[in-house]
Amino acid sequence: AQSVTQLDSHVSVSEGTPVLLRCNYSSSYSPSLFWYVQHPNKGLQLLLKYTSAATLVKGINGFEAEFKKSETSFHLTKPSAHMSDAAEYFCVVSDPEGTGKLIFGQGTTLQVKP
């Protein structure tokens, strides 16, 4: 069975400071991993995905994530937060050989203070 745990339900940073959103996964095989962002009253948007190529994955809007198999982690980072980054972020796992079913974490709310 697969699962994801987002270690922080709420993260608050100041504009211009680094962002770190933590995610650990559990999977019996090498998974596909995704980060999605959800702005209020908008649909989920893919930030980036890992599918067993490079372990450091670059996404949109300056976000990146590193797949660490030994730590079963896929943390999301950004060097400098912008006000527009305030949103809900979801870490997601999927079986790359499966049907495409996504297993979502509980979400992390990112607050960006001016």
Partner 1 sequence: EAGVAQSPRYKIIEKRQSVAFWCNPISGHATLYWYQQILGQGPKLLIQFQNNGVVDDSQLPKDRFSAERLKGVDSTLKIQPAKLEDSAVYLCASSLGRGGQETQYFGPGTRLLVL
What's the rounded Cα separation, in Å, for the pair 57 and 62? 11
Name which of 15 and 86 has its Cβ closer to partner 1: 86
> Binding residue for partner 1 (CB under 8 A) from 21, 81, 107, 112?
107
Contact status: 99 vs partner 1 (CB under 8 A): yes
Out of 84, 106, 111, 113, the residue judged to bind partner 1 by CB under 8 A:
106
- Binding string, 29-68, against partner 1, x = CB under 8 A? --xx---x----xxxxxx--x-x-----------------
Choices 15-23, 59-67, 72-80, 92-100 (CB under 8 A): range interacting with partner 1: 92-100
Residue 56 in 3-state DSSP?
Answer: strand
Binding residue count for partner 1, defined by CB under 8 A: 26
CA–CA gap between residue 92 and residue 23 (Å, rounded): 9
* Cα–Cα distance for residue pair 31/25, rounded to 1 Å: 9
How deeply is 83 buried, as exposed, middle or buried, from its count of CB atoms within 10 A (0-12, 13-18, 19+)? exposed
What are the backbone angles phi and psi of residue 61, rounded to the nearest 5°?
A: 60, 30
Does 10 bind partner 1 (CB under 8 A)? Our answer is: no
Looking at the Cβ atoms of 53 and 114, the one nearer to partner 1 is 53
